[in-house]
Amino acid sequence: MRNLFGRYLQTTIIFLIVGGILFLAFGGYLGGASRGLGSSLVGIQTWLSTRYTAIQDFLAAPRDIATLRQRNAELESEVSRLQGQVIELQQKVDERDILAALVDFMRASPESTYKGAAVVGRDPSPFLHYIIINRGSNDGILRGMPVVTNQGLIGRVDAVVADAARVQLVTDPGSAINVRLQNADTDAVLVGSVTGDLSLDMISQDVTVEAGDVVLTSGLGGGYPPDLIIGQVLNVRKLDFELFQQAALQPAVDFARLEIVLVITNFRPVDVEPLIPITNP
């Protein structure tokens, strides 16, 4: 009985002590002590946790680096593939733009029939301005047919084989085309040069030519159909003691970036050589 009473007393005292401590703690009387204890415990836990994490990282790191490297390689490969795709799509967009412009041009000039061709090369000699296209006699291309883009005339077919043709550009030094100045309403001769610059010659001294005048094919001589745009007059050189005026021309076509061209297949050049009278000495 006494033993039982003692055990109750012991339990009651413990409860009272714990309750008292809790009471003092909630009442704010143990603030300094509990803060010190709490911060010590947190400090110990932080130290332990940091060390544990460091050890865990140390043990796990090699596997992660290998995984990351593998993943990095995969992503780099994916980026390369996507970059290739972007370039390919960009090329297709460019090609589509060119084709759309050419189709617009064909619709605007329904009197002619066209055959599209890609530019696959240039003349091996820098003295000549020729291009190679991937259409030939198998596609109905014949020597002398004019070649254009949606921007204007670029030249005419000079030689043909089964699946390719060589086109003499209007910028070739050997090229001479009869043209008409739209505003001045006069004829002239368009000639190429070594540098690819175009110039007009044989312009009568009587007419007034101004910068910006549009230059078109005249159709004289039978080499080209009339009214194909070539470019605009850049500047005029008029000297009183010369027989004719001369002018520099800004071509409508960018000859450095020819990719797809149109061959006018329903035009046959006329050979006027037999009609030129032979003068006997």
Partner 1 sequence: MFRNLIAFPLLALVVIVQSAVISHMTLLAGYADLMLVILAAWALKAEASSAWLWAILGGVMVSFVSGLPWPVTMFGYLFVVLLAQLLRRRVWQAPLLAMFSVTFIGTLIMDLFTLLVLNLLGTPLPIGDSLGLIVLPSMLLNLLFAVPVYVMIRDLAQWVSPAQEVE
Residues at the interface with partner 1 (CB under 8 A): 120-128, 130, 132, 158-159, 166, 168, 172-174, 191, 193-196
Cβ proximity to partner 1: between 114 and 130 the closer is 130
Q: How far is the CB of 125 from partner 1 (least distance, A)?
A: 5
Query: Side chain identity at 252, as an amino acid letter?
Result: A
Query: Can you spell out the DSSP letters for 109-173?
Result: -TTS-EEEEEEEEE-SSTTS-EEEES--GGGT--TT-EEE-SS-EEEEEEEE-SS-EEEEETTST
Cβ proximity to partner 1: between 229 and 261 the closer is 261
Q: How far is the CB of 120 from partner 1 (least distance, A)?
A: 7
Q: How far is the CB of 135 from partner 1 (least distance, A)?
A: 16
Cβ proximity to partner 1: between 158 and 213 the closer is 158
In angstroms, the CA 187 to CA 257 distance is 29
Q: How far is the CB of 159 from partner 1 (least distance, A)?
A: 8
For the chain, the first-to-last Cα distance in angstroms comes to 163
Cβ proximity to partner 1: between 3 and 195 the closer is 195
- C-alpha distances out from residue 110 to 23, 46, 105, 167, 272, Å: 102, 84, 9, 23, 27
CB 117 within 8 A of CB 160: no
Cβ proximity to partner 1: between 24 and 123 the closer is 123
